[in-house]
A and B are shown apart, each in its own frame.
Chain A
Amino acid sequence: QTVVTQEPSFSVSPGGTVTLTCGLSSGSVSAAYYPSWYQQTPGQPPRTLIYGTYTRSSGVPDRFSGSILGNKAALTITGAQADDESDYYCMLYLGSAIMMFGGGTKLTVL
């Protein structure tokens, strides 16, 4: 059973840079897995940030960027702000119409 892995939690100082990653329990993540990233604050639906590894959704600030780092997909926040404190979920396309979320990363800005 394939599992999409994310760091459970991360913290960053205001103005700092943080990179969250998204991996696979077996194997490497590449652009072929079409990584996407979602931001969610408590009580709200997810918001789409990044799709197709690199592309920002409409209205997403350019301090959010996506990439492949080594064998994982990555979401980097440059110049973190207080309202970036959220849960972040990645999702990978595993083929055969299967799309799977990771367990999410709780980001604290302090």
Chain B
Amino acid sequence: VQLLESGGGLVQPGGSLRLSCVASGFSFDTYAMNWVRQAPGKALERVSDTTSSGYNTYSADSVKGRFTFSRDNSKNTLYLQMNTLRVDDTAVYYCARRAWNSWYFDLWGRGTLVTVSS
């Protein structure tokens, strides 16, 4: 049972990046999935929640209008499309599984680092 993020890297301000999170070992299509980020030396920040079907998504005000969230249940994959990136988007981005029918995270990926810098 694991989550594996990929797609992080260095990008210039105003640029775009797409992160992926591949799930294995569990029924991906029955769980809501989240992105949680952590800027260097800062606290955890929940960025998004995508329901099991992908029809409903919550996103933090800090990323609304710039980030879009999706999932492909046939590929057991969660996506984060980041556009108009800012320096303060620099963070480790974790994929996290929201426990079934509940409001906490019961599985975390190892994270992928996104650095926004010129």
Residues in A lying within 8 Å of B, measured CB to CB: 34, 36, 38, 40, 45-48, 51-52, 57, 89, 91, 93, 97-104
Shortest beta-carbon distance, A97 to chain B, in Å? Answer: 4
Residues in B lying within 8 Å of A, measured CB to CB: 36, 43-46, 49, 56, 58, 94, 99, 102-106, 108-111
Give the number of residue pairs across the A-B interface with Cβ within 8 Å: 56
Query: Nearest 7 pairs between A and B by C-beta?
Result: A36-B104, A93-B103, A51-B104, A45-B108, A97-B58, A101-B44, A34-B103
Other contacts beyond A36-B104, A91-B44: 12, CB < 8 A = A46-B94, A46-B108, A47-B108, A48-B108, A51-B99, A51-B106, A52-B104, A93-B104, A97-B58, A99-B49, A99-B103, A101-B44
**Bound state CA distance, A102 and B46, in angstroms?**
11
What are 22 A-B pairs with beta-carbon distances under 8 A? A34-B102, A34-B103, A34-B104, A36-B103, A36-B105, A38-B105, A40-B44, A46-B94, A48-B104, A48-B105, A89-B44, A91-B44, A91-B46, A91-B104, A93-B103, A97-B56, A97-B58, A99-B46, A101-B43, A101-B45, A101-B46, A104-B44
